[in-house]
Amino acid sequence: MEKEHTETRSTAEESYPIRLLQLSDKDKGFVDLLKQLTLCDSISDVDLAARFEDISAHGDDHIICVIEENHSQKIIAFGILFIEKKIIRNCGKVGRIEDIVVDFSIRGKHLEQKIIRFLSEHAKSVGCYKIIPDDDDEMNKEFYEKCGFKEKGVVMELYFD
Amino acid sequence: MEKEHTETRSTAEESYPIRLLQLSDKDKGFVDLLKQLTLCDSISDVDLAARFEDISAHGDDHIICVIEENHSQKIIAFGILFIEKKIIRNCGKVGRIEDIVVDFSIRGKHLEQKIIRFLSEHAKSVGCYKIIPDDDDEMNKEFYEKCGFKEKGVVMELYFD
């Protein structure tokens, strides 16, 4: 049983490896993937390169991870972690997990959870005292609860015109 | 009436001017003020200077504002805005208001709201498409609602050991 389980997991790893985003992933459809999450319809190559460079400059404090489907070579999952540097909590750090999206055609592979685990482990490794997942991420609420997350409160927002 | 209102506001401005934090404000008690919000009991001067430098390096993308009480020269209010750079929303930006605290001895001056307005205006001026206030900031929920904020959802968190 153990051997079979290991082999199944290994096959899944090979089919859906997780790694950091590269700018060249635009050709593998990650911007199209983001359209499944929200408005993201007109990013020029110049704007995207500038934003990618800006985020990359933060190193371990702002990472974007993706899952590429091996057989199609398409980006089919995406998630962001950025580190908020506090003065409270004795200059502590908080990890914020944002903008998780998995291609709607991929079901039952628990790829959201793979993204969340990857980002959470990174947050812990860089010394965050806590992590706060995306407040839009209702889909994974049960998973978060199983991992020990607690409800903190209600979040509000204001869109500018 | 208009003249009287203007004079009252002007006096309040002079007594409680709002400005950006300076590192030397440690001598004006801002770390003690943060203890009223949460754990913040052992920041060394070296750690504080390093964190201040780190935050300052972000320029307009991570600001801390304070209110200094003129007669006591003490920092009696504090709030943070940091800008999250997205890829969604066509490389949009979100402003997050965090860690607002007003000295518990100061009542009825609406200083929290002064902080929130200052940070919100800054977020708008640097092109954020929305702002999200601190989810701990229950005290100002009514004020946020009056300003047009809407409830977005429930936020969760996980503290690492």
Average pLDDT (B38-60) is 91
Q: How confident is the model at residue A134 (pLDDT cuts 50, 70, 90)?
A: confident
Select from B90, B99, B151 the Cβ nearest to the Cβ of A43.
Answer: B90
Q: Which residues of A14-23 are buried (b: 16+ CB within 10 A; e: fewer)?
A: eebebeebbe
Judge: A160–B87 Cβ closer than 8 Å, yes or no. no
Distance from CA of A67 to the nearest CA of B (A): 17
Rounded CA-CA distance B132/B159 in Å is: 21
Query: Contact B34/A120, CB-based, under 8 Å?
Result: no
DSSP secondary structure of A78-143: EEEEEEEEPSHHHH-EEEEEEEEEE-TT--SS-HHHHHHHHHHHHHHHTT-SEEEE-TT-GGGHHH
Most A CBs within 10 A among B47, B88, B113, B152, hence the mutation to make, goes to B88
Dihedral in degrees, nearest 10, Cα atoms A59, B99, A127, B63: 30
Using a CB-CB distance cutoff of 8 angstroms, which residues of chain B are in contact with residue A38?
88-89
d(CA A46, CA A107): 33
**Prediction pTM value:** 0.87
pLDDT number for residue B152: 81
State how far residue B44 is from chain A, nearest Cα, in angstroms: 9
Rounded Cα gap, residues A60 and A125, in angstroms: 10
Nearest-Cα distance to chain A for B150, in Å, is 5
Distance in angstroms (rounded) separating the CA atoms of residues B10 and A148 = 50
Q: Of A54, A88, A155, which has the smallest distance from its Cβ to B132's Cβ?
A: A155
Angstroms from A107 CA to nearest CA on chain B: 23
Separation of alpha carbons A69 and A29, rounded Å: 11
Rounded Cα–Cα distance for residues B157 and B34 (Å): 21
pLDDT at B1 over 60: no
Predicted pLDDT at B34: 93
pLDDT tier at B48 (50, 70, 90 boundaries)? Answer: very high
| Closest residue to A34, CB basis, from B34, B88, B160 | B88
- pLDDT tens by residue, B82-119: 999 999 999 999 999 999 999 999 888 889 899 999 99
Question: Which of A51, A55, A78, A91 should one mutate to test binding to chain B, selecting the residue with the greatest count of B CBs within 10 A?
Answer: A91
d(CA B21, CA B31): 12
A161 versus B159: the higher-pLDDT residue is B159
| Alpha carbon distance B15, B69 (integer Å) | 6
CB atoms B90 and A41 under 8 Å: yes
CB contact under 8 A, A154 and B135: yes
Lowest mean pLDDT among A117-131, A134-148, B25-39, B48-62: A134-148
What percent of chain A lies above the pLDDT cut of 90? Answer: 64
pLDDT for residue A10 is more than 80: no
Q: Which residues pair with A18 in a beta bridge?
A: A67
Strands laid side by side in the A93-102 sheet: A18-20, A62-69, A74-85, A93-102, A130-133, B150-159, A150-159, B130-133, B93-102, B74-85, B62-69, B18-20
Residue with tokens 């009480």: B69
Q: pLDDT of B121-152, one tens digit each?
A: 999 999 999 999 876 666 677 888 888 888 88
Query: How high does pLDDT run on average in chain A?
Result: 87
Q: How far apart are CA B84 and CA A3, in angstroms?
A: 44
**Residue B35 host element (H or E):** helix B30-35
Assign B2 a pLDDT band (cuts: 50, 70, 90): very low
The per-residue pLDDT for B39 is: 84
What is the tens place of the pLDDT at every residue in B68-89? 999 999 999 999 999 999 999 9
Q: Are strands A18-20 and A150-159 parallel, antiparallel or unpaired?
A: unpaired
**A148 to chain B nearest CA, in Å?**
7
Query: Using an 8 Å Cβ cutoff, are B81 and B123 in contact?
Result: yes
| Distance of alpha carbon A89 from alpha carbon B26, whole angstroms | 16
Class of residue A142 by CB neighbours under 10 A (exposed 0-12, middle 13-18, buried 19+): exposed
Provide ipTM, 2 decimals. Answer: 0.85
B154 vs A154: CB contact, 8 Å cut-off? Answer: yes
